[in-house]
Structure 1
């Protein structure tokens, strides 16, 4: 089943146009769209061209590996996340990002999000499988390229909390 969505009122936007001075407002709106009613969240932002996840490379024997450039970019993003997280969050997480690129080159938003998801493993969240809400935007800012990131607790019917170790199963007699 599908239905047409009504157009947004003229002048309305999830992300208001403007410079860096509006990043906090963008983050607030993004958090409210991702995780309505969330009581805890973090805004993290840093200057520089947003990184993207490179395609996997294949080596001898068909083993996959990351390029040195991809490893370095992931480590740099990890350091940005370490500034905000003293330990990884457990449970459901909502992640939203606005990537301000300096040029109009074609870069997939999903690859920029995947880069953030992988870089945050063990730092901001235990594993990116905990991310149950995800939203990303690519914008242009030739003067101040940057990444604006929002991480919130997320209520979902798909519970990603750590599970207690299950009791050993009894052997079934037939």
Structure 2
């Protein structure tokens, strides 16, 4: 065996040993569990790159926007332990709206009705997100703001009305 072959074989055996050791330590399962949203995020970014490199039509921005938003949301859910799903689930509707907004903004000629659909989906997201936050614990904050506002109005009743 020549010296060159020994070097290549040695590097291959060393790399195989390191891969096996890292696998036994759980490094690959951790990376797979943590980085799986890249499977969704990377195609979304690639679809955007295809459009901006002038190799695809503006229709690619719809799935590109959706996949990019979903990939980011899944990363947030991964790193928060999944406990934030109760707060961010309405943003999945917003992913569709983002894709449609991009399509409407960057396509030529502008498609009819796409902007209206995107606005409606965004409004639905905002309403559902508000209801979600209200049903959790933000309702206490709203109650506190209303109480403080009521006290402020009652306390300022007899004063002169200069300014606001």
What interval of TM-score do these two structures reach, taking the shorter chain for normalisation? under 0.3
Larger RCO, structures 1/2 (Cα 8 Å, 6+ apart): 1
TM, length-normalised to structure 2: 0.27
Q: Kindly indicate which of the two structures has a greater share of residues assigned to strand.
A: 1
Q: Kindly indicate which of the two structures has a greater share of residues assigned to helix.
A: 2
TM, length-normalised to structure 1: 0.26
